[in-house]
Structure 1
Amino acid sequence: MDSELDKILGILLEGHEKGQDFSPKKKAFALGLYYGGQSQHRVARRFKTGRSSIQRWVKQL
């Protein structure tokens, strides 16, 4: 389980270091909403981003 968590945290931090406009906390919250049952469209709209961003984050996990 720890290695899975480390992998997720690594991805979140990596995106932040590359200068993306989403902080790790915001990205984690978006993925949490998605896995909590929200549709990709609703999560994307809430964070004013495209569905492709949400899909890319999900694929990275």
Structure 2
Amino acid sequence: MQLDRLAGIDSVSRAQQERGLQLVGMFFDLSSARCTVLDPATNAFVADDEHPDRTLVTS
């Protein structure tokens, strides 16, 4: 998964540990103009209003 690879980069890993960087997987469907967000607990994309951590998603 791309987020795992990104988190494996030293500077990104340090930013996560030292500054609280959060990586979020998102998908924007152009045809429906809807955004879905990766739920790491289920490894599935869910509608942004159904994501368990709404603080990550802004309108």
Same fold (TM over 0.5): no
Q: Kindly name which structure, 1 or 2, has the bigger radius of gyration based on alpha carbons.
A: 2
TM-score (norm 1): 0.30
Question: Greater helix share, 1 or 2?
Answer: 1
Question: Greater strand share, 1 or 2?
Answer: 2
TM-score (norm 2): 0.31
